[in-house]
Structure 1
Amino acid sequence: MPLLKLLFLVLLTRRVMPVCRLQGRAQPPELSKAGDFVLGGIFTFQTGYRGNIPSFQTLPDPPKCLNINVREFKFAQTMIFAIEEINQNPAFLPNLGYKIYNSCGMTNMIKSALDLANGQREIIDERNCTKADTALAILGHSASAPTVGFARIMGRFQIPVISHFATCACLSNREEFPSFFRTIPSDLHQSRALAKLVKHFGWTWVGAISNKNDYGVDGMASFIQAAQEEGVCIEYYEAFDQTGPLHDLNKVVETVKHSTSKVIVAFMSHREVNVLVTELYRQNITALQLVGSDAWITDHSLTDSEGRSILVGSLGFVVSKAQIPGLEEHLRQIHPSQFPDSHFVRDLWEDVFNCALNDSSNTQKKTCSGFESLQNVESYFTDVSELRFTYNVYKSVYAVAHAIHNLVTCEEGRGPFYNGSCADTKNIQPWQVLHYLQNVNFTTNSVGRRKSHDIHY
């Protein structure tokens, strides 16, 4: 009997003893560098993807990302350039690192955000879990819909999200998105400006088309209200998504075909615009004047669209351009050897130079010589003459850096927390960075001129 009691006690002790086990592994970032303070980034280096329908019986495979999106990679490299510039500046105390994810598809983007929030380190002791390695802020995304998706979740953890391109006015709701910031104004201003632009040219009878997500629906609702106040009449309003059912697109095209207005205000991404104008061109529906939102009006990828002739003469507003000294040199010095764990950099290199790297499975191309360089390559990636949203990425990094710098240099007794206390610099939490971001204001040098900046809700 005593032996049975002892065995029961041992089993009971084992059952109640806390054990730390990983339930899964976080996906590795595409680009990363260690630092005292880590910034996360979520971009879409490849548009379009293939994925399987989940069975909910096994872990689903990650989606297969497809087409190369150079603009997004340029955003990510601008983030890296700004971080390196800050780390070399003795006026800044923070030593910044980064974890940048290449995410295609909404599910993958949300997973990337959760990986940055969890930040679980590789080594976990069976009885003593390591501390989470959480990113202090997340930069991205370029589109409003995915940003809405993960910014709402990150707000619950008080992790700052700073976007350079997500313009949906819905993101200004501080109850839903308490930790969201951006370095670009909301669409509320753009929608009103587009209405005034249409009125300025005397186009008082127009059609309206948007995509079906928050960006398109909210932006178009604001435009229609402003247009009516300006005395502009809306003949029709249609919406579709690039990935939606084909009959939605057909309905839009049929509406345009039978309408009497020749001016179309298009509030959508470049993907929907490409699909729309391609189908309009295929059906020989031309002589249209498009007025566009900033999401597509300057997108270089549309120059390759089959329906690009329909886009000739399109009008719209964009953010002002700027210059970032040193960025071009940084972009031209990029080489796969700098990012040995990045599959995307390898794919980009093979695409640009039409060759195969040694570790590539692509046997249809000649082997890269090893002397390839971007120094003499003229492409959108190396072109820094039209830095608009790219400059917003640059400003996003500096906004976080200034917030962390102010936090680190806080004087005890004059701090913003309980009884004038400051944050523990050895254990900074995202919510503390969030507090400092609320009031951050800084200046940047732009070709000899100093510009003052703050960030928007």
Structure 2
Amino acid sequence: MIPLLLHFCLPFGVVMEGNLDFSRIRQRRPYDYYRSGDYLISGVIPTRTAMFPNHDFQYNPAEDLQPLMKRNYQHILAILFAISEINKNSELLPNITLGYNLYENYFSKRVVYEAAIDMLSSGHSMVPNFKCGQEEKLLAVIQGGDFETYFQMATILEIYKVPQLTYGFVNHILHEKTQFPFSFWMSPKEISQYMGIVKLLLHFKWMWISIAVPKTDGGNQFLRTMETLFSESGICIAFSHRIPLVFVDGFTLLDNEILNLFENLLEEKINVVIYFGDSDSMILLPVMLSILEKHYPPGKVWVSTALWGFTLSTFFSYWDIKYFHGALSFIIQTDRRSKSQELFLDEDKDTFEHVWSDMFDCYDSDHRFSRKTWKRCREKENLGVLSKAWLEKSMSAESYNIYNAVYVVAHAFHAMMMPLSSKNMKKEKILDLTAMTQSWQVHSFLRNVHFNSTTMDEVYFDNDGELVADYDLVNLITFPNESARRVKVGKLQRETSSNVKMIIDEEAIVWPNSFDQVTPRSVCNPSCQPGERKMVPEGQPICCYVCIPCLEGTISVNPDADQCQECSEDQYSNKNRDQCISKIIDFLSFGEVLGIVLVFFSLFLCVATVLILVIFLRHRNTPIVKANNRNLTYILLVSILLACLSSFLFIGQPEKVTCLLRQTTFSVIFSIAISSVLAKTITVILVFMATQPGHRMQKWMGQNLANAIVFFGSIIQFGICIVWMGTSPPYPELVMNSHVRQIILQCNEGSAIMFYSALGFMGILTTTSFIVAFLARKLPGGFNEAKFITFSMLIVCSVWISFVPTYLSTKGKYMVAVQIFSILASNTGLLGFIFLPKCYIIVLKPHLNTKEQLMAKRNKFG
């Protein structure tokens, strides 16, 4: 009965006492590894790909297992070496021995359940929740694989609250921390490297790319995530490929599937391919390589996620990976050192015969899957002959995650044990104190673990239970001897949860040979040059645009500008529309040709007016000067002189004083001149009316009437100007947009109403003078200036009537020139028709300048 009872297990939590030795006697599968200890760290570590044919149950199914390719043995070595170091460390978990229980799942999801149930069982039977004899406590489970593998393990382990540390890249977007609170990730968030890929593409301006993902949940989620990130960054996906995991005879992928998906690689514009690799899809790489090399020449830049960088070295010894020469990928940043040689020197070759044979291409006498070229293993192989490629695999970035995962569990368990024990306490006492310790109790300590690894890397988790770490950007370089090397060419640093910083050493990157070490371009169309902007035709992707020139007044400095930048008001765009040039401040200056001509004309009239005034002063007692009130003649000549001089206020850079004086000064002075002309005309009429006996106009004769006309004519205009200055005075103004290349500096007249009021009053005086003179034109010539005044007023009216539309139709200095020309032309009319005939008689015909001659002419007409 006793032997029979030994085959039964007691319920979990019940411990049988006695001398019976309930050691772990359950038969282990091939490629599983176990070593006893006070506490166990279990692991589901896929290391080889296998084919599972249908079983007919006539022999042990395990014997029908056909491993196809060995890989990832360094993952197992990382766990063994870490546990070996911890057990030898007297500072970490003193008096406690860690064991391991490692399972191979052959990258098969259906094997995961068997491993999960087995690690939760004890004794001979695979029955969880039962305990037979003295059981080694399970602390945590280290697991790798894709999301589905993680999900299956997490679903089972979450029931028992067993901490689960995942070293692979599980898609963090597919789950929430609240769903599996006992899960921890030894790899940083994938979204960081996703944003790093975007930064990489933007850095090299690769805007037209292709993307390939496996037809799995992880691949689909990656594609959706990248589509969103690319859309936000202006990157276009020319083609996206979902590679189906379709196998024939368990392994061979249908060739036409790859050919149909990769036909667009011949597209010359697409030089960058983004590839998402997880544990399952990496199996496709050999098949992809063999097919791609037959049909498509190398020459594309492959950009991959971090997991590809972990796994690609597995294929070094099996396939030529020159097709991926120049590829870029991410690996977790670390200063790791390979310590695998120390591990092998301490471990038994018989225990790890599969690893040993894989290292040295040798086999033992009972090795069943040997290559014909392999030799028999010696008792102790020389580790110094291992290739550098193999040693690189022995401590890859993913292996380093596993190595740290073991230390994370050990440090968390040590932190939990510290309050319960001391260094001097016996091992039996420690085990008694922790007899009721369960794996779920380690969880809270795992969340707060924080330590420096043996390579001085800081290891800790964030609030979501995910490792905080940065990435290195590595460049894959292949050599003719079918070896390969990964060279660090940059790094990716996570600054915040939503932002990363990319640092790239472009000179260190080796590009595919087809680019002849010139940075590849991957765009839908040539870049727009400076001076152009992008415009996306309707119905086209945003990366397929046409280039159109920038409009006048706008520029674009950088290539592929989305919009043209508008130049500031004081600048204009050059011919190429790639630079803003400062506008020239334009005003009527004394130095330009137009200014010089007007100055010369003004000076000429001033000199002529002064000469006429001198002539009239020297001959002031002659009849022709005394006729028609010589005082009015002097006032008129002085007014004409001052009016000509006032034109200088309109030339030169406008300033506040000149703007205030130019219009008001001219208006008052010219009003005095026209008032004097009006007074002279009225005087002529009154003189002839007063000569008739008893005429009532005799009482208006005299100087007072003339003075009154001049005074009221000028005082009204002066009043208009005073109101103008008091309400809205003129001021200097910069007109920015009236000319493309010039800024007009001019005087703003302030109130347009007051400006045209002053101009209108001068027009009233001029018109009145013209009408009066026209009516008096037939009076006797000896005393008659009316006909000369008529012609002069006709000129003045014509000038100022044409001035208004011309003034309004011009801008800038030409508007000022029009007013100066009008001033000088009207003054010329006054001098030419009123004073030149008199000067002619005074200077050239003095015999006509007598009272008899004047009276004779009067009698002739009288």
Task: Name the TM-score, length of structure 2 as normaliser.
Answer: 0.44
The partner residue of 2:366 within 333, 345, 359 is: 359
Structure 1: tracts of 5 or more residues without a match: 1-18, 340-344, 413-422
Aligned to 1:330: 343
Task: Summarize the Cα distance change of 1:325–1:380 in structure 2 as closer, same or farther, 3 Å threshold.
Answer: closer
Task: Summarize the Cα distance change of 1:325–1:383 in structure 2 as closer, same or farther, 3 Å threshold.
Answer: closer
Aligned to 1:35: 37
Contact 1:192 1:226 in 2 (8 A): yes
Q: CA deviation at 1:143?
A: 4.0
**Structure-to-structure mapping, 1:70-219, within 5 angstroms:** 70=71, 72-93=72-93, 94-104=96-106, 105-118=108-121, 120-122=122-124, 130=132, 135-170=138-173, 172-219=175-222
SS at 2:42 equivalent: strand
**Structure-to-structure mapping, 1:278-427, within 5 angstroms:** 278-297=290-309, 299-303=312-316, 308-324=321-337, 326-331=339-344, 333-337=346-350, 339=351, 345-361=352-368, 366-383=375-392, 387-410=396-419, 425-427=434-436
Deviations 1:376-429 (A, max 9, x none): 3225443479642222111101111111112222369xxxxxxxxxx9611322
Q: Distance in 1 between matches of 2:353 and 2:77?
A: 15
Q: CA deviation at 1:76?
A: 1.2
Q: Distance in 2 between matches of 1:157 and 1:215?
A: 26
Matched pairs, number: 415
Supply the AA of the counterpart residue of 1:311.
F
Q: CA deviation at 1:314?
A: 1.0
Contact 1:209 1:237 in 2 (8 A): yes
RMSD (Å) for aligned C-alpha atoms: 3.5
Contact 1:278 1:305 in 2 (8 A): no
Q: CA deviation at 1:207?
A: 1.0
Supply the AA of the counterpart residue of 2:356.
W
Contact 1:62 1:108 in 2 (8 A): no
Q: Distance in 2 between matches of 1:377 and 1:267?
A: 31
Larger Rg: 2
% identical equivalent positions = 21
- Please say if 1:275 is aligned against 2:284: no
| Range moving further from structure 2, 250-259 or 133-142 | 250-259
Contact 1:145 1:213 in 2 (8 A): no
Task: Summarize the Cα distance change of 1:381–1:67 in structure 2 as closer, same or farther, 3 Å threshold.
Answer: farther
Q: CA deviation at 1:40?
A: 0.4
Q: Distance in 2 between matches of 1:206 and 1:238?
A: 12
Task: Summarize the Cα distance change of 1:82–1:251 in structure 2 as closer, same or farther, 3 Å threshold.
Answer: same
Task: Summarize the Cα distance change of 1:252–1:333 in structure 2 as closer, same or farther, 3 Å threshold.
Answer: farther
Supply the AA of the counterpart residue of 1:87.
N
SS at 2:199 equivalent: helix
**Structure-to-structure mapping, 1:217-236, within 5 angstroms:** 217-236=220-239
Supply the AA of the counterpart residue of 2:308.
W
Structure 2: tracts of 5 or more residues without a match: 1-6, 11-24, 248-252, 422-431, 467-862
Contact 1:328 1:384 in 2 (8 A): no
Task: Summarize the Cα distance change of 1:381–1:330 in structure 2 as closer, same or farther, 3 Å threshold.
Answer: farther
Contact 1:42 1:100 in 2 (8 A): yes
Supply the AA of the counterpart residue of 2:167.
H
Task: Summarize the Cα distance change of 1:56–1:435 in structure 2 as closer, same or farther, 3 Å threshold.
Answer: farther
Deviations 1:202-229 (A, max 9, x none): 1111111111223322223222211111
Aligned to 2:545: none
Contact 2:144 2:166 in 1 (8 A): yes
Q: CA deviation at 1:232?
A: 0.2
Task: Summarize the Cα distance change of 1:243–1:83 in structure 2 as closer, same or farther, 3 Å threshold.
Answer: farther
| Range moving further from structure 2, 386-395 or 242-251 | 242-251
Aligned to 2:789: none
Q: CA deviation at 1:185?
A: 0.8
Task: Summarize the Cα distance change of 1:355–1:319 in structure 2 as closer, same or farther, 3 Å threshold.
Answer: closer
Q: CA deviation at 1:35?
A: 1.1
Task: Summarize the Cα distance change of 1:303–1:411 in structure 2 as closer, same or farther, 3 Å threshold.
Answer: closer
Task: Summarize the Cα distance change of 1:331–1:227 in structure 2 as closer, same or farther, 3 Å threshold.
Answer: farther
**Structure-to-structure mapping, 1:9-88, within 5 angstroms:** 20=8, 27-28=28-29, 30-47=32-49, 49-53=50-54, 61=62, 64-70=65-71, 72-88=72-88
Higher helix share: 2
Q: Distance in 1 between matches of 2:98 and 2:393?
A: 24
Deviations 1:91-146 (A, max 9, x none): 2224211111122022123321221122x21389xxx9626656321112154442
**Structure-to-structure mapping, 1:254-265, within 5 angstroms:** 254-257=263-266, 260-265=269-274
| Range moving further from structure 2, 254-263 or 161-170 | 254-263
Q: Distance in 2 between matches of 1:58 and 1:366?
A: 30
Contact 1:198 1:204 in 2 (8 A): yes
Task: Summarize the Cα distance change of 1:179–1:59 in structure 2 as closer, same or farther, 3 Å threshold.
Answer: farther
Aligned to 1:4: none
Q: Distance in 2 between matches of 1:43 and 1:103?
A: 7
Q: Distance in 1 between matches of 2:26 and 2:207?
A: 56
Q: Distance in 2 between matches of 1:322 and 1:61?
A: 41
Q: Distance in 1 between matches of 2:113 and 2:271?
A: 40
Q: CA deviation at 1:59?
A: 8.9
Pick 1 or 2: higher relative contact order, CA cutoff 8 A, min separation 6: 1
- Please say if 1:440 is aligned against 2:449: yes
SS at 1:184 equivalent: coil
Task: Summarize the Cα distance change of 1:171–1:426 in structure 2 as closer, same or farther, 3 Å threshold.
Answer: farther
Task: Summarize the Cα distance change of 1:404–1:363 in structure 2 as closer, same or farther, 3 Å threshold.
Answer: closer
Q: Distance in 2 between matches of 1:282 and 1:20?
A: 60
Supply the AA of the counterpart residue of 1:360.
H
Contact 1:117 1:134 in 2 (8 A): no
Q: CA deviation at 1:188?
A: 1.4
Q: CA deviation at 1:194?
A: 0.6
SS at 1:92 equivalent: coil
